[in-house]
Amino acid sequence: MHLLENARIAEFDAPSGRWRLSAPAMIAIGEGRIVWTGDAEDLPEPFAGAPRRDLDGRVVTPGLIDCHTHVVFGGNRAREFEMRLEGASYEEIARAGGGILSTVRETRAASEEELLAAALRRVDTLLAEGVTTLEIKSGYGLDIESELKMLRVARRIGRVRPVSVRTTWLAAHALPPERREDRAGYIRDVVIAGMARANAEGLIDAVDGFCEGIAFSPEEMARIFEHAAGLGLPVKLHAEQLSDLGGAAMAARHGALSVDHLEYLGADGIAAMAVAGTVAVLLPGAFYTLRETQLPPVAALRAAGVPMALATDCNPGTSPVTSLLLTMNMGATLFRMTPAECLAGVTVHAARALGLEGRGLIAPGFRADLAIWDITDPAELSYRIGFNPLHARIVGGTLV
């Protein structure tokens, strides 16, 4: 048991969606969880002798949760960035064998150690800004062994760094070159068969797919989701990023935890997500990098009561972003989310997008994942650009 004192706690009021800052207060932590919060004079007697750390009135928020990343990959796509600046579109580059497939070549060629070293540089940047839970997808291997290699690296990240890692099976990201003429075979032999293997090896927590004209159709994804359900794995989907194929509604009908991107989401998709309680994960880093002009329907999602999360989508092609704070700023400036929505989007709603209960809020019973900031107003986290006010993180009750 230990105590944090003089903490200004960011408390989320779910009905209004607002964050309230407490007066300087105490947080009691035991066995990795928050046990009690409140005024110092109300501290329960049994806690009184526990060691204390004075936070000098700093603001404490839940530890940040980056609920959609592809941080494990080989190489980079700086040349493709130049091509896009010269006028080529993301889809043209993908159809010409570049894009995701160029990262697949580099990821297949890299050793586990090389992938780990490259990913840790990105992960460390995220952690330095207060991230305490990180989702990592496969999807640049596209054969079973290479996908498992990525996932082993992802799991290792959670062992060598103080962060919780959740892993997601994304073999349905693109068709690998050797299977270009054999979609059904790829889905059967790699996506579905590999999912069962990864699950048996304890390497995956959820199943995802890229539902798009250049990737997989809603019908193909529905089949994959049925197999995920058979293994008891929750599902999520990249959908409506470049066009509206109805992927979000299909995913919601399968009880998806989240549907991600959503620039082209229509009214049917929003209604289906609201009914299913599916989280909308918005990825402004990809919107920005692709110089997209179609905005996700934030006002309609808000009106329908669909919870919105924000994530970096850290990946070498469409979102080479390793800052969740910058992502919050983009959520506000590009998508017109309120700073309160941005903070909920990287805490309580991001936890829900990962199916993680007991995370993302500061309340008794919740995991003691906290970010301590040198700020006076939580809105500062969304307002600043290129500035990191993190003082310290507490991960599972331990100060790091």
Footprint of ligand DI6 (CB under 6 A):
99-100, 103, 173, 210, 238, 241, 286, 313, 315-318
User: Which pairs count as long-range contacts for 392-395, CB under 8 Å and 24+ apart, including other chains?
Assistant: 393/63, 393/127, 393/130, 393/132, 393/162, 393/369, 394/4, 394/29, 394/63, 394/132, 394/368, 394/369, 394/370, 395/63, 395/132, 395/162, 395/163, 395/164, 395/369
Q: Smallest distance from the beta carbon of 67 to Fe ion, in angstroms?
A: 11
Q: Which CB sits closer to ligand DI6, 237 or 343?
A: 237
Q: Which CB sits closer to ligand DI6, 19 or 73?
A: 73
Q: Smallest distance from the beta carbon of 54 to ligand DI6, in angstroms?
A: 43
Q: Which CB sits closer to ligand DI6, 66 or 369?
A: 66
User: What span, in angstroms and rounded, lies between the C-alpha atoms of 129 and 303?
Assistant: 31
**Number of chain positions touching Fe ion (CB under 5 A):** 1
Residue 292 binding Fe ion, by CB under 5 A: no
Residue 313 binding Fe ion, by CB under 5 A: yes
First to last CA, the chain: 17
100 binds, among Fe ion, ligand DI6, none (CB under 5 to 8 A by kind): ligand DI6
Q: Which CB sits closer to ligand DI6, 74 or 316?
A: 316
Q: Smallest distance from the beta carbon of 376 to Fe ion, in angstroms?
A: 34
Phi-psi region of 397 (alpha: psi -120 to 50; beta: other; left: phi over 0): left
Q: Smallest distance from the beta carbon of 34 to ligand DI6, in angstroms?
A: 35
317 binds, among ligand DI6, Fe ion, none (CB under 5 to 8 A by kind): ligand DI6
Q: Smallest distance from the beta carbon of 68 to Fe ion, in angstroms?
A: 6
Q: Smallest distance from the beta carbon of 69 to ligand DI6, in angstroms?
A: 10
Q: Smallest distance from the beta carbon of 318 to Fe ion, in angstroms?
A: 7
Q: Smallest distance from the beta carbon of 313 to Fe ion, in angstroms?
A: 4
With b meaning 16 or more CB within 10 Å and e meaning fewer, what string describes 82-114? ebbeeeeebeebbeeebbbbbbbebbbebeeee
With CB under 5 A as the contact rule, which of the stretches 13-21, 93-101, 154-162, 307-315 interacts with Fe ion?
307-315
286 binds, among Fe ion, ligand DI6, none (CB under 5 to 8 A by kind): ligand DI6
| Residue nearest Fe ion, Cβ-based | 313
Q: Are strands 370-373 and 390-395 parallel, antiparallel or unpaired?
A: antiparallel
| Residue nearest ligand DI6, Cβ-based | 317
Q: Which CB sits closer to ligand DI6, 59 or 245?
A: 245
352 binds, among ligand DI6, Fe ion, none (CB under 5 to 8 A by kind): none
37 binds, among Fe ion, ligand DI6, none (CB under 5 to 8 A by kind): none
235 binds, among Fe ion, ligand DI6, none (CB under 5 to 8 A by kind): none
With b meaning 16 or more CB within 10 Å and e meaning fewer, what string describes 36-59? bbeeeeebeeebeeeebbebeebb
Instruction: Report the interface residues with Fe ion, using CB under 5 A.
Output: 313
